[in-house]
Homo-oligomer: A and B are copies of this chain.
Amino acid sequence: MLVSALLMSVGINSCLCVLLFTLYSVLRKQPHNYEVFLPRRLAAGTSKRRRNKVARYIPSVRWIWKSWRPSEKDLMDSSGLDGVVFMRMITFSLKVFLFAGIIGTFVLLPVNCFGDQLIQINYADWSANSLDLFSVANLKTRSPWLWVHFGAIYLVTAFVCCLLYLEFRYIGLKRIEHFNSSRAQPQQFTILVRNIPSSDGSSVSETVDRFFTENHFSTYLSHVVIHRTSKLRSIVDNAKKLYKKVKHKKPDAPRVRKTPIVRFFSRKDTPEDHYEKVLHELEQNIRLGQAEVSTPGKEVRAAFVSFKTRYGAAMALHMPQSINPTYWLTEPAPEPHDVHWPFFSASFMQKWLAKIVIVFACLLLTVLFLVPVVLVQGLTNLSALEYFFPFLTLILSMKIVSQIITGYLPSLILQTSLKIVPPIMEFLSSIQGHICHSDIQKSACNKVIWFTIWNVFFATVFSGSAFYKLSVIFDPKEILVKLAVAVPAQASFFIAYVVTTGWTDTLTELFRVVPFMVSYVKRSLEPTDDNELVIPPMRYHRDTPRVLFFGLLGITYFFLAPLILPFILLYFVLAYVIYRNQFINVYEPKYDTGGMFWPMIHYTMIFSLVLMHGIAIGLFALKKMELATYLLVPLPVFTLLFNEFCRKRF
């Protein structure tokens, strides 16, 4: 890749950014877009529907300022600790890449430029130089300048580790502060007990009562046994659907704020005989269902047990309750909004097997994901398209169409299939046996991180080289050297990737493309329909891996191709502004994991560092710097020890 090509790409994407920022500032002022761009403020009633029609169409940058202004405390109040952790991940990356960027741009870049392994720099025409001139590939074998890179690696590792430690400590303190400052929540007094052993003759409720009265006499308060209510639930769902139907029939009926069912029973809305009949049937069914649910046969061997004090609950949570550790399993009770019901009845064995199966499935999906994608991409060549869709022949014979199809379709297919991964992983996590949504999200986030690292980073690095063979991957002697060959070779690709995919990704996040289009289509179909306002929750399992991936790119490439650093830095600035804006205007937390995403972020950073060290060791071995190679070996060891220390300390 030449400098000119990079400049062109940067130019185009910068213009696009400015254009879309301007467009956004106009679009968000249109009242009919409020529910896409400002649902939180709409719900809070703080978005004034401005009368001035002209001002609406004048672009402004005030929204950037507004999103910059709120303090961390405000963010904590509005988006919970998870939002704070997410934003701190971005500020952490900003700090890291500011430091690495200064070293990279002012030290490593000049050093690389004045190497003479490749052809000399063309000073007359800068833009005709290859990007490789700015990378470490331009330094000769055994060049003493490589010691500068060596020093930079040690320096950046030390900086990142210090920052990671401080950040982990800060978030730990925030967690405690958050816990202390919030009011006592019901879930803090409650634990979930599962796999209650059956004792002959007595119901689950009696067993629980006896057990806790006996063992936690002084603190035990009460308990609620969980019942299977799927049948009742489906009846209630039916009633809700019917309610919606009736409501649409009589849009002018007075809209009293009542819960759907109560509203349905209050006869007023169902003048027609047909609905009255259905209503009666439903009422009957619900009564039957309610009666059935309270029978012992519908009891699940799990219960929420409440204690008089939080201390009592914590005590019961941490003590092993039974001689057989597969019975009386205790877990902290999730927040009421956060409960995921399907797995309360799963036994210890079922849950464990489900977990193993899902882990295997995820591994398989992660490793083999590219195979079907590449196959489908193969189908998009022109002859295949003409074969399957003969009527397209005429269009396909046009040169520009064929260029677009062969050029964009394969990468479009890859990008689209990558977009469906977070929902797939979320689904897999949801059948893994978790009992609350936040656990599902954490688990999905973890899966998506590894998926992204494998299928974007390693797949790109290894494609082209005959590397995608397991035999080579498991050979530890070779792998570092092969990595050191393959990773720098993809430097220009990843620089372009940051500029294109990275920057546009944040912009699609800003524009909320899918909800925007859905709302547009809805509006054009049913212009008068005033739907209930839905405030979406932040999907951390989709966004965290994305941001982390750019961190990984930056850390692994900072000494190979320091040119990537300014673009990464810009990406994080964009992400900072845009995600803050979204937290303030769009997303509302439904439940709080209490900052439990941080360990994941921490581990990914550690992985990035160790990967970078591995590549560096391979590179120094390639450049025949024996001493530097051996001196680098302790670095990953120390990094892993530091990680182990953090695990113990926090």
Contact = CB atoms under 8 A, between A and B. Distances in A.
Interface of A: 172, 176, 218, 314-315, 318-320, 323-326, 348-349, 352, 356, 471, 474-477, 641, 645, 648-650
Contacts of A645: 349, 352
Contact of A356 (B319, B474, B641): B641
Nearest to A173: B323
Nearest to A477: B471
A648 B476 contact: no
A357 to B, nearest CB: 11
A593 B471 CA distance: 45
A60 B645 CA distance: 61
A391 B126 CA distance: 83
Interface residue SS majority, chain A: helix
Contact of A648 (B176, B323, B352, B471): B352
Contact of A475 (B172, B218, B474, B641): B474
Contacts of A648: 325-326, 348, 352
A315 to B, nearest CB: 6
A258 to B, nearest CB: 46
B325 A649 contact: yes
Smallest CB-CB A-B distances: 5 pairs: A318-B318, A318-B319, A474-B476, A326-B649, A176-B323
A377 to B, nearest CB: 30
Contacts of A349: 645
Nearest to A649: B326
Work out how many copies of this chain go into the complex.
2
B325 A650 contact: yes
Given A318-B318, A318-B320, A324-B649, 11 more contacts: A172-B323, A315-B315, A325-B648, A325-B649, A325-B650, A326-B648, A326-B649, A348-B648, A352-B645, A471-B477, A474-B475
Contacts of A348: 648
A161 to B, nearest CB: 16
Contacts of A314: 319
A554 to B, nearest CB: 30
A471 B471 CA distance: 13
A315 B319 contact: yes
A468 to B, nearest CB: 16
A156 to B, nearest CB: 24
Contacts of A649: 324-326
Contacts of A319: 314-315, 318
Nearest to A641: B356
A63 to B, nearest CB: 39
16 contacts: A172-B323, A176-B323, A218-B218, A314-B319, A315-B315, A318-B319, A318-B320, A324-B649, A325-B648, A326-B649, A348-B648, A349-B645, A352-B645, A471-B477, A474-B477, A475-B475
A333 to B, nearest CB: 18
A200 B218 CA distance: 35
A562 B583 CA distance: 70
Nearest to A172: B323
Contacts of A318: 318-320
A326 B645 CA distance: 10
Contacts of A326: 648-649
A345 to B, nearest CB: 19
A360 to B, nearest CB: 10
Contacts of A471: 477
A315 B313 CA distance: 12
Contacts of A218: 218
Contacts of A320: 318
Nearest to A218: B218
Contacts of A641: 356
A354 to B, nearest CB: 13
Contacts of A176: 323
A604 B349 CA distance: 24
Contacts of A323: 172, 176
Contacts of A315: 315, 319
A173 to B, nearest CB: 8
A350 to B, nearest CB: 13
A277 to B, nearest CB: 54
Nearest to A348: B648
Contacts of A324: 649
Nearest to A353: B641
A614 to B, nearest CB: 15
A158 to B, nearest CB: 18
A430 B471 CA distance: 42
A432 to B, nearest CB: 16
A376 to B, nearest CB: 29
Nearest to A319: B318
Contacts of A475: 474-475
A311 to B, nearest CB: 9
A475 B352 CA distance: 31
